[in-house]
Amino acid sequence: MSENSFGRTLYPLALVLWTGAFGWYALKVSAAASSLSRDAGRLEDQARALDTGARRLRSLARESGERAGDARFLQDIPNILPEDKGYLRTQKAIEGEVALLRAKVSKRLKGVLHLVIDAKANKLYVKKGAQLLWQADVSVGRGGVLKDAKSGRKWEFVTPRGEFRVIGKALNPQWRKPDWAYVEFGEPVPPPEDPSRMVSGELGAYVLNLGDGYLIHGTKREELLGRPASHGCVRVGAADLEKLYQTVPNGTKVYIFE
């Protein structure tokens, strides 16, 4: 066979083989592309599902937070109201209990005249049993401590709390100045029985004695009534002090609270 004849036979065969190989490779690439397309579709579906799940989780988290807040609110209600935590009383039930308590207090007091002093509000109430007769602005102890640098003695300017009695009354009383009245202004303290201690007009026209040095008396500073301003006694305006003196007998109970 001549060289030209061999060449004419070999070239067509090579072309056929190359065309077949190229076609096979093209089919393989096409199959891979189809697989990648399917995988991309599946990934998109999974991404959409994850996004939907994330939105659902956020919604559940918000709902859970709101429910937790409601639970805390309901749990705290028994701590706000004066009642057992096992149940919630209605306003009507509370009003009924208050009425019952008032009835018990009224029965215990048996319609007796007494004084009630609210040291926080600086108010004095004149009551007969549970009935309020009248009320007045007062000044109770202003608080604070005074210390004598020389002797080391201390005085606290507060009105005591508790139950007391009117153990005596006086008209146009004189005030025996205590030691603290001198120490407060840096003055020398005189002997206990020194006549200079006796001062007229300082306590007003009347005084009701509660014992232990505590008095209900008048004041020269009526503009301070309704505020804590005294050194421990209960200060009252002139008109209300006269009413107290005329209507409150010795032995009357006095309740001071805050």
CA quadruple 201, 206, 210, 211: dihedral, nearest 10 = 50
Distance in angstroms (rounded) separating the CA atoms of residues 220 and 238: 9
Distance CA 78, CA 121 (A): 27
> 3-state DSSP call for residue 257?
strand
**Residues 169/209, Cβ–Cβ less than 8 Å:** yes
Give the Cα separation of 75 and 44 in Å (integer): 46
User: Which residues belong to the active site?
Assistant: 217, 233
Nearest to 159 by CA among 127, 115, 120: 120
Residue linked to tokens 């202003």: 142
Q: Which stretches of 123-213 are DSSP H helices?
A: 179-183
Helix (H, G, I), strand (E, B) or coil at 98: helix
Buried b (16+ CB within 10 A) or exposed e, 160-185: eeeebebeebeeebebebebbbbbee
DSSP string for residues in 131-193? EEEEEEEEE-B---EEE-TTT--EEE--PPPEEEE--EEEESPEEE--HHHHHTTTPPPPPTT
Distance CA 114, CA 116 (A): 7
Strand partners, 255: 116, 163
